Amino acid sequence: FFTSAGKEFLLVNPWNYIPKNYNPTLVSLGRFKMAEECFAPLEQMLADCEAAGLSPKIRSAYRTNSDQKWLFIRDVDKYMDEGYSEEEAERLTALKTAVPGTSEHQLGLAFDIVDTDNQNLSEDQQHTKVQKWLMEHCWEYGFILRYPDGKTEKTGIIYEPWHYRYVGVELAMELRDSGLCLEEYIEQLTQE
């Protein structure tokens, strides 16, 4: 946990696991579940994106630990099928699929949002009109592009131009203005 502007935030990454007692209050938007605090901002962001003539689509939202474990094992198996050792397969998988217990999706605050016309979770997303709009406006609704380009060493996760995390408008604006990723921002706070 860290505090910014009197509000407490949870940092989850390969080095910071979700506390065992963490239990978000979940609500549903269609077939997706999410933490209650980000429901209205997400709904408004998607509605405004659609009003701009675009077609955003949620690909993933809240995940249970079991869901995350299944995704991780599936991706490890893919690498092993390609001839990687289990250790190397796990290392490569962890760069793109969070180890269970370290996924922001398990917080209910993270969303994979894609363009309806391009639902691939690849760097090609950055070129879609939906992502360009979201990257420009997400902070207005309290979201950040969580794994920005060039920040893998700090975040522990590859560039994901589709993964958005709710942090509230104030922190989202601070991160946008500073150009820092969440880890760099926290590092700066602790140095101050």
Q: Can 90 be counted among the known catalytic residues? A: no
- CA-closest candidate to residue 22, choices 61, 58, 72, 64: 64
> Residue 66 is encoded by which pair of tokens?
């079991």
- Structure token digits, residue 1: 């946990």
The SS3 of residue 119 is coil
Nearest to 9 by CA among 159, 168, 144: 168
Question: What is the rounded distance in angstroms from the CA atom of residue 183 to the CA atom of residue 189?
Answer: 10
Q: Tokens 């050792």 appear where?
A: 85
DSSP state of 108: T
Of 86, 87, 123, 160, catalytic: 160
State the catalytic residues. Answer: 160
